[in-house]
Structure 1
């Protein structure tokens, strides 16, 4: 069974304490013991939620964990980036 985290939003018993942490507002996703701000979700794989990598040779983002490109290749056959892009970004063989 996975470990669960509970968050309590300022219960009455905590009011008046001098060591209360500053309030952080926003929308976050908590996964795999990480807290990811909503604004940064585009930098993570939509399948496994691992950080994406970038390959400058093919000018495209990919997920090393899933071994898949996260950007589609363009339809231009003369494109210097997409025309030579391999099917998988990481050679595991």
Structure 2
């Protein structure tokens, strides 16, 4: 994999420091769908459609709204207050 350099648009000058040197941002990023996602944040995105994940507090689980799928497995505890009644898909609550 090669190295790519990205240059900001017309507002590039706003990021200059006092001494006139443009700050350099280094790291590993994924560029997709006109957005740049830092490597450290990839866990917050769906691995299939790359949309941001949502969180459902009722079932204590992350899900992808675009795929309508949970991104966390249910646990094996038959008495778990979160997993026992969780629907097969996030929006199949009938």
TM-score between both structures, scaled by the size of structure 1: 0.76
SS of the equivalent of 2:40 reads helix
Match of 1:56 in 2: 57
SS of the equivalent of 1:62 reads strand
Q: Classify 1:71/1:9 alpha carbon distance in 2 versus 1 (closer, same or farther; 3 Å).
A: closer
Report the number of matched residues. 79
CA distance in 2, matches of 1:9, 1:53: 29
Shift of 1:22: 1.9
- CA RMSD in angstroms, aligned pairs only: 2.3
Match of 1:68 in 2: 69
Consecutive unaligned residues in structure 1, runs of 5 or more = 1-6, 11-18
Aligned 8 A contact 2:87 2:93 in 1: no
Shift of 1:58: 0.1
Match of 2:17 in 1: none
TM-score between both structures, scaled by the size of structure 2: 0.75
